[in-house]
A = this chain, B = another copy of it.
Amino acid sequence: MKENSRYVAVREVFQQFVRIFGQLQRGGAQDCGISVIQSHILYELGKRPNISLNDLAALLHTDTSSLSRQVQQLVEYGQVNRLPDPKDRRYVVLSLTAEGEQKQQYIAEFMETFLSEVFSKIPEDQHEQVFQTLEVMKTALNSTSSPCRKEPPSS
């Protein structure tokens, strides 16, 4: 296990990723007057509209009861639509309103601005390698972590 010591460094880097990114998300969310979890909801709904609450909870690794209340707030704020699914009325169908879309866009730009600054610190000729490596890690992570449920009943 000569590589094992390297995992210590890898963990350290990941820990920093998490901390810095968490900090960023907090900033972006606060600018929009919402919580971090709510910004994740907007993000996920932007990517996968018309998802159910249950599937969203699985994606975000959170409890349905907490999520239900967070969504409730976003509905009250006018940022999320929540309608019963006509095909199976136990489900709800969640989507972004125009305003929700706007906030989601704002946060996305916020994050991407930060990332562009990060990459400006990396020599241009290494960018491609970084992108590739991140993709490699993404697929490796996905095949290691517990899988999320997909295929929502509607849509």
Chain A residues proximal to chain B, CB less than 8 Å: 3-4, 6-25, 27, 31-33, 43, 60-61, 78, 99, 102-103, 105-106, 108-119, 121-122, 126-127, 129-131, 133-147, 149-150, 152-153, 155
Q: Write out the residue numbers on chain B whose beta carbons fall within 8 Å of the beta carbon of A18.
A: 17-18, 21-22, 25
The smallest beta-carbon distance between A36 and chain B, in angstroms, is 10
Copies in the complex: 2
- Greatest chain B CB density within 10 A among A13, A108, A115, A127 is at A115
The smallest beta-carbon distance between A52 and chain B, in angstroms, is 19
B27/A146 in contact, CB under 8 A: yes
A141/B16 in contact, CB under 8 A: yes
5 nearest A-B pairs in the assembled complex, by CB-CB distance: A133-B133, A121-B140, A7-B112, A31-B152, A7-B115
A3/B119 in contact, CB under 8 A: yes
A13/B134 in contact, CB under 8 A: yes
- Greatest chain B CB density within 10 A among A15, A111, A122, A137 is at A137
Given A14-B21, A15-B43, are A108 and B8 also a contact pair (CB < 8 Å)?
yes
B122/A130 in contact, CB under 8 A: no
